[in-house]
Amino acid sequence: MLQIRRIACVLLSCVLLIAIAGCRLPSVAPSFPTTTTTAAADADSISPLCWQVTGPSGNTLYLFGTIHIGDERMAAVMSKLQDRLASCDALAVEMDTVAFENSPEAPQIITTVFYESPTYRISDHMPADLYERAVAMLKKAGMYADFYDQFDLAYWSLLLEQAALSLYSDLNSDWGVEDHIITAANKQGIPVLEIESAEEQYHMLDQFSDELNLWLIEDLLDSQDEYGEQTAALYEAWLAGDYEQLCALNGMGDDLSEYSEEEQALLKEYNQKLLDDRNVGMAKAAKRYLEDGKTVFLAVGAAHMLGDAGIVHLLEQEGYAVEQIDI
């Protein structure tokens, strides 16, 4: 089950940082180093997954798999992407996270989706021991407030994910590549196209069944000791562009016989809503861009690129020429 949790946190660019006052941990936005560093010395080995797709009129679409967290080595990634991004007519992303995070409407959007009522108590919807463990983790991360008890299970699943990242990983969501790609496009005057929206992403996350959210929460609390190691392994595989390793770390091809029928149903629900259904929509958007005749740099969570249900395979099935390239 641990592999599923890593997909949600790391290889999808849903906005996992809750934008309600007091919830997001204070941080300083990183600036890319300008002097030679260890990260710069490792630059030759850094090549996240990227594909070039050729459209019917000979135009190009780039598919780039993003990641939600990082460290100073993200500077080398951005350095390698700059020229390719500058050659494009537009940047396409799941949602414009930079615009959303700076939007005064962001807290209201999140509250509308996840807030229940003044009389609602999340403790009535969790086993008592699970609630106590969840509160303990949030308090340890300095992220608990009584007000959050009025929010639903989906919110708590996301909130605990952010707490785990702050407690058990040396990687930082402020280094996530999505924001930096969008910022670079804004500086270059390149239009940013949204495939989805913040509302769509949050409503999608809020559609998980209570059984699935409870399973995700319990899994996270049970696997705290392994969180940092697993997240680091995913990040290293992402930096290296190791397709097979990313698939393996995300449980693709795993034997599901160890799971009960109920757990297999929850896995199917998770993958269907979070990945498979959205991959189809992203592939359709990619086809529109290709048919428009413009050169577009499409950057979405790397998990959307992987496997038979991924965007890369879906476009190949449509007959497009897709070639993996070195960034």
Contacts of 163 (CB under 8 A, 6+ apart): 137, 138, 140, 141, 143
Q: What is the pLDDT of residues 163-222, one digit of tens each?
A: 999 999 999 888 989 999 999 999 999 999 999 988 898 999 899 999 999 999 999 999
* Tokens read off for 131: 């609630």
169 vs 70: CA distance, rounded Å: 10
pTM of the model: 0.88
Token pair 């809750």: residue: 18
195 three-class SS: coil
Tell me the one-letter amino acid at 46.
I
Q: Would you state the pLDDT for residue 29?
A: 39
Q: What is the pLDDT of residue 198?
A: 87
* Model pLDDT, residue 51: 98
Residue 11: predicted pLDDT: 58
pLDDT at 39: 44
Spans of the chain, pLDDT less than 50: 1-3, 5-6, 8, 13-41
CA neighbours closer than 13 Å in the CB half-sphere of residue 71: 18
DSSP codes, 33-71: --S--HHHHTGGG----EEEEE-TTS-EEEEEEE-S-B-
- Alpha helices, DSSP H only, in the chain? 2-6, 38-41, 74-86, 97-101, 106-114, 128-140, 153-168, 177-188, 198-205, 210-222, 224-240, 243-249, 261-271, 277-292, 311-317
DSSP bridge pairs for 62: 52, 297
Q: What is the DSSP letter of 24?
A: S
Closest CA to 64 of 114, 11, 139, 135: 11
- Euclidean distance between CA atoms 98 and 89, whole angstroms: 19
Residue 70 identity (one-letter amino acid):
G
Query: Does residue 290 contact residue 320 with C-beta atoms inside 8 Å?
Result: yes
**Cα gap 33→39, rounded to integer Å:** 9
